[in-house]
Amino acid sequence: MLPSAGDYPVYQKGFILGLQKDYASKIREMDRLLADFPDSPYADDAMYEKGRACVLLNKNREAVETFETLISRYPNSSLARKAGIQSGLIYFNENQPIKAAEAYKKVIDNYPGSEEARVALEDLKSVYVDMNEVDAYTSYVRALGGKERMEASEEDSLTYLAAERLFMRGDNEAAGNSLTRYLQKFPQGAFSANANFRLGGIAFAKKEYEEAKQLFVRVLDSGDTKFGEESAARKAEIEYLEADYATALTTFRQLLLLAEDPANKEAARLGIMRCALLTNQMQEALSAADNLLKDAKLSPELAAEARYMRAKALIGAGKQTIAAADLKELAKDTRTAQGAEAKYLLAQLYYDTKDDAAAIHILEDYAKNGTPHPYWLARGFILWADIYIRQGDHVQARVYLNSLQSNYKAGDDIEAMIKNRLGKLKK
């Protein structure tokens, strides 16, 4: 009987146990074959299958040792090539990129032209990208010669991908350096807009706003649509923070055209409304406020701001009567700065239209319920004095003004208003 006559049943039994997911028993059978039949033609198969079973049991160290033994004893076996790839994959998954690269290079160098060498080269690419060493990978491929070569477009994409991975891991400093090197090497690269956008985000996070703004401008100028919307959003935000309202208004208009994200559409309309009002473009502010208030999902805070802006725009356009509806709605809650001002403005509106009774009714309610914003309540008391002055009741006007002068000590323009009126009452 030949020594190997009983080897195949042992190998077959172990293989079936693996199919049944009994990996520990599979390993025992493969070890039995290797011990009882060391010269078996199935020895390399047994080692490979044992290594695979070890991987499935998370016994990575034993798996690597098994694969390396296979490669050493049976270098000409097709399974040796596969074992090399398996070893590289184990090292890569264990975050040992240098050892992974060594394993893949052995397959490439020892089995040139094979399918496994091609797979190993592809996997090696991932290792070098993960290490952010694309230049080293490029040099290695070029040194191989023959059919192996790297197109400029592939080097472009790999260099960017390596930097992108650093960014996604949150390593902004390393990512920033890699993205800068990418743009230096490929200023018109396929991912130049992506790189500028990522660098803009890094600069924005560091509050380096001028640098961030320039980078976002490059993205917008490139015509790349993938990051155009977010670039416009960040650029507009920076310009608004810098109080460059005229420029911000233009950028918010651009954002409104680009925006697909509902949040960015809302931000664009809000920005247009604010900047238009601040640059005295009342009609545009009014239109933006109208568009915001059409959104049923608008938050109460933004709805209040939009009503406030619309009222201010209407007043600025000389349409105080139309503004009254928004002022009444805002004045229901004088806990907010907008509500406190609106309460005063509503009383002022009635005063301006010579409806003193309505103005006094508003002011009485204001005095009764109060507000945490004393400036506007003080303006209300001055307006109350103005009503008495117009009605000829100078005594009552002085009472209000003197009381306010004694109790209001904010150091703003209220004192000048009081003195101005008291001075006129003395004449």
- Mean pLDDT score, 24-42: 95
Say which residue the tokens 């006559």 belong to: 5
Q: How does 29-56 read in b/e, with b if 16+ C-beta sit within 10 Å?
A: bbbbbbeebeebebbbbbbbbbbbbbbe
Evaluate whether 172 touches 202 at the Cβ level (below 8 Å).
yes
Confidence of residue 288 (pLDDT cuts 50, 70, 90): very high
Among 211, 237, 215, 239, CA closest to 227: 215
How far, in Å, are 281, 359, 363, 385 from residue 355 at the CA level?
A: 30, 6, 13, 15
pTM of the model: 0.69
Q: What is the pLDDT of residue 345?
A: 96
With vertex at residue 414, the alpha carbon angle to CA 307 and CA 274, rounded to the nearest 5 degrees, is: 25
**Structure tokens belonging to residue 420:** 């101005």
User: What distance in Å separates the CA atoms of residue 160 and residue 178, rounded to the nearest whole number?
Assistant: 8
Q: What is the pLDDT of residue 143?
A: 80
Enumerate domains of the chain plus CATH numbers.
Answer: 151-226 (1.25.40.10), 227-330 (1.25.40.10), 336-427 (1.25.40.10)
Going by the DSSP 8-state scheme, the letter that residue 74 receives in this structure is -
> pLDDT tens digit string along 245-262?
999 999 999 999 999 999
Considering only 3-17, 65-79, 216-230, 287-301, which range has the smallest mean pLDDT? 3-17
User: What distance in Å separates the CA atoms of residue 135 and residue 156, rounded to the nearest whole number?
Assistant: 11
Mean predicted lDDT score pLDDT of the chain: 92
Q: What is the pLDDT of residue 149?
A: 59
Evaluate whether 307 touches 326 at the Cβ level (below 8 Å).
yes
- Mean pLDDT score, 376-405: 94
Instruction: Tell me which long-range contacts 224-229 makes (C-beta under 8 A, separation of at least 24).
Output: 224/193, 224/194, 225/258, 226/193, 226/194, 227/193, 227/194, 227/197, 228/258, 229/255, 229/258, 229/259, 229/260, 229/261, 229/264
Cβ-count burial of 302 within 10 angstroms (0-12 exposed, 13-18 middle, 19+ buried)?
middle
Confidence of residue 2 (pLDDT cuts 50, 70, 90): very low
User: What distance in Å separates the CA atoms of residue 197 and residue 213, rounded to the nearest whole number?
Assistant: 10
Confidence of residue 147 (pLDDT cuts 50, 70, 90): low
User: Which helix (DSSP H) or strand (DSSP E) does residue 352 occupy?
Assistant: helix 337-352
Share of the chain above pLDDT 70, in %: 97
Confidence of residue 179 (pLDDT cuts 50, 70, 90): very high
Among 305, 232, 242, 239, CA closest to 270: 305
Q: What is the pLDDT of residue 150?
A: 62
Total length of the chain: 427
- Mean pLDDT score, 94-119: 91
Check whether 4 has a pLDDT greater than 60: no
> pLDDT tens digit string along 324-371?
999 999 999 999 999 999 999 999 999 999 999 999 999 999 999 999
Among 344, 336, 294, CA closest to 315: 344
Q: Max alpha carbon distance in the chain (Å)?
A: 136
- Mean pLDDT score, 99-119: 90
297 φ/ψ angles, rounded to the nearest 5 degrees: -95, 5
User: What distance in Å separates the CA atoms of residue 5 and residue 54, rounded to the nearest whole number?
Assistant: 27
